[in-house]
Structure 1
Amino acid sequence: MRKSAFLLPAVVVVIAVAFSSLFIVDEREKALVLQFGQIKQVRETPGLGFKIPFIQEVVKYDDRILSLDTDTIEVTPSDDRRLVVDAFARYRIRDVVQFRQAVGVGGIRAAEDRLSSILNAQIREVLGADQVTSDTILSDQRRDLAVRIRAQARAAAESLGLEVVDVRLKQTNLPQQNLEATFARMRAEREREAADEIARGNEAAQRVRAAADRTVVETVSQAEREAEIRRGEADAERNRIFAQAFGGNPEFFKFYRSLSAFERSLNSDTSTIVLTPGSDFISAMFDAVRAEGLLAEEAQTLSPDELRELAPQSELSEDLPEEAREQIERSNEEIQQRSAPTEETQ
């Protein structure tokens, strides 16, 4: 009874000591066995390990590829256009012993702080080098720049026991204070290009208008010249016909001209003309009447009826306007009405 009372606690103690002396290393980890801060054992392969209980401790580190996002920094390329760069890196613990010696008890957090400083320094150095402009950074060559940053950061991170797997430039933008000025400059350049295009278009349009105006002037001038030629030929033909028509009877031509003058003078219902019997204006008409036989008679001995019988009979031309025809007919009726009382009195 007394032996079993001591045996059970002893077994428990043995089991606890046995479990505390064992540790398991996962395939995603690396482990260090420390004794009073000194590295006594390194386990980089997965499996079961042993340590001295209560004296030694096990520190495990992630053996996978880890990610680190750097802080946003400003860089100044060779063309003095500041850029805001945001990068990220992929790294892993290459030498766990060197890593422990470099960062101590700080672990991954301390390592990332130091690695971030290394990356920022290399980013500024590469992007601020000669012949590296903002256009180069914003072009397809940024991949080559990232490779240079990775190579230099990898060399600097070896002292930390880290291996930099990759470095990428995530974002490359202009600072906010320079963004509006850049946009304004871009707008000014586009407006200048637009103004050049508009000026060239206006110049071409002006040339087309000038050519069209010249063509119009030439066409109108040619048409007017041909019209004047046709008009002159028509006037010549008309004068020839008039000369031929009136050349056979000059007295009739004089009479016709007198009637035309009367027609132009009496061009309205309110027109009044007063002439003397010896006026040159009507002498041609009376001469034409006398040419028909009135010269042999004495005007004082002839009655109005006899004068009308001796006067040549004429009909109104069909070409006369309707108003002129009606006016002439009214005048004939008034003459007949005035002559009727005179005949009755006689």
Structure 2
Amino acid sequence: MSKKSILTTVGVLVFLILGFTSMYVVKEGEYKVVLKFGEAVRVVEDPGLHFKIPFIESVSKLPKYQMMYRSQQTQILTKDKKPILVDNYTVWRIDDPEKFLKTAKTVSAGVKRIDETVYNTVRAKLPAINYENIISENTERGNINDEITREVAATLSGDNYGIEVIDVRIKRTDLPDANKESVYNRMISERQSIAARYLSEGDEESKKVTSKADRQATELLAQAEADAKKIIAEGEQQAAKIYNESYGKDPEFYSFYRTLQSYVTTLNNEPVILMPIDSPYTRILLGQ
């Protein structure tokens, strides 16, 4: 084989090697960070074929998608002195690959930093809250999760780790086996005490309402009776006035009318009455 052929072959091989070492592929869901002598010079996010300077530049791959890290279970003492085992998870992503490479360098190191921050934040928050508020799904639990997420995100952002914390959630809060029965019994006792207090307060309030209603009913009845007596008296007074005015206009007719009324009363049930035939009462009765 001639020297020229050898040189040509070597040249082709060198060209192919340079060509292959200068190319790299970016896939969906990943960053490719181009490093020059160990320093990041650019970040490539667009999927496809890209080029770098062979032997001078190297490429490091970082995930672009969201990742979830589940923290190790840890024991914490709540505000009301109940020991609990807390299990939480963190959803995060790399939002600045250059910063991430300068600080954490690897995903495992980034996860370790997240774990430390979440651990410190959870241990600072939960001891200031009662156990029953921590386990409440619809009230305190949501507020705690939001507060922890904000504080963890702020801490990592301040440290320039290039990490975006999307969510930190308390997945589970369990009591240690040795404490479950005593804690449950204490909670039952507390609930029974609260129920007894509510029943006592309700009974006392019921008595107050009933007493007030009875007093108001008595007052209303007394007022109604007084008003009725007043109305009756006014009616009788008005009737007497009308009678007097009527009687004064024709005394003879009034006397005759009163006599007729006495007949109705006297002759009721058809009694036997003995009267002188010539008495005025008899004459009027006989129509004379």
Q: TM-score, normalised by structure 2?
A: 0.61
Greater C-alpha Rg: 1
Give the alignment of 1:7-18 within 5 angstroms.
Answer: 7-18=8-19
Specify the alignment match of 2:121 in structure 1.
Answer: 122
Specify the alignment match of 1:19 in structure 2.
Answer: 20
Structure 2 residue identity aligned to 1:135: E
Q: 1:37 to 1:157 in 2, by over 3 A?
A: same
Structure 2 residue identity aligned to 1:181: S
Specify the alignment match of 2:69 in structure 1.
Answer: 68
Between 5-14 and 24-33, report the one with greater CA deviation.
Answer: 5-14
Q: In structure 1, what is the Cα distance between the partners aligned to 2:47 and 2:152?
A: 30
Structure 1 residue identity aligned to 2:142: R
> Structure 1: where are the runs of 5+ without partners?
194-346
Of 120, 130, 134, 1:133 maps to: 130
Q: 1:91 to 1:190 in 2, by over 3 A?
A: closer
Specify the alignment match of 2:58 in structure 1.
Answer: 57
SS in 2 for 1:74: strand
Specify the alignment match of 1:92 in structure 2.
Answer: 93
SS in 2 for 1:160: coil
Give the alignment of 1:200-215 within 5 angstroms.
Answer: none
The CA deviation string for residues 123-176 of structure 1, in whole angstroms up to 9 with x for no partner, is 1222223xx211111112201210111111111122211001111111011122
CA drift at 1:91 = 0.2
Tell me if 1:81 matches 2:78.
no
Matched residue pairs, number? 191
Structure 2 residue identity aligned to 1:48: L
Give the alignment of 1:322-333 within 5 angstroms.
Answer: none
Specify the alignment match of 2:48 in structure 1.
Answer: 47
Q: In structure 2, what is the Cα distance between the partners aligned to 1:180 and 1:90?
A: 34
Q: In structure 2, what is the Cα distance between the partners aligned to 1:179 and 1:137?
A: 16
Specify the alignment match of 2:149 in structure 1.
Answer: 150
CA drift at 1:30 = 0.7
Larger proportion of strand: 2
RMSD: 2.4
Q: In structure 2, what is the Cα distance between the partners aligned to 1:72 and 1:135?
A: 19
CA contact (8 A) 2:82 2:183 kept: no
Q: In structure 2, what is the Cα distance between the partners aligned to 1:177 and 1:95?
A: 46
> Structure 2: where are the runs of 5+ without partners?
195-288
Q: In structure 1, what is the Cα distance between the partners aligned to 2:192 and 2:122?
A: 36
Q: In structure 2, what is the Cα distance between the partners aligned to 1:41 and 1:164?
A: 23
More contact order relative to length (CA 8 Å, sep ≥ 6): 2
The CA deviation string for residues 226-271 of structure 1, in whole angstroms up to 9 with x for no partner, is xxxxxxxxxxxxxxxxxxxxxxxxxxxxxxxxxxxxxxxxxxxxxx
CA drift at 1:187 = 6.4
Tell me if 1:173 matches 2:187.
no
CA drift at 1:192 = 9.1
Give the alignment of 1:1-346 within 5 angstroms.
Answer: 2=2, 3-104=4-105, 107-129=106-128, 132-139=129-136, 140-141=138-139, 142-158=141-157, 159-185=160-186
Structure 2 residue identity aligned to 1:9: V
Structure 2 residue identity aligned to 1:138: I
CA drift at 1:184 = 3.9
CA drift at 1:40 = 2.1
Q: 1:83 to 1:11 in 2, by over 3 A?
A: same
Q: In structure 2, what is the Cα distance between the partners aligned to 1:167 and 1:91?
A: 9
Q: In structure 1, what is the Cα distance between the partners aligned to 2:191 and 2:107?
A: 51
Q: In structure 1, what is the Cα distance between the partners aligned to 2:187 and 2:28?
A: 55
Q: 1:191 to 1:152 in 2, by over 3 A?
A: closer
Q: Which runs of 4+ in 1 moved over 4 A?
A: 186-193
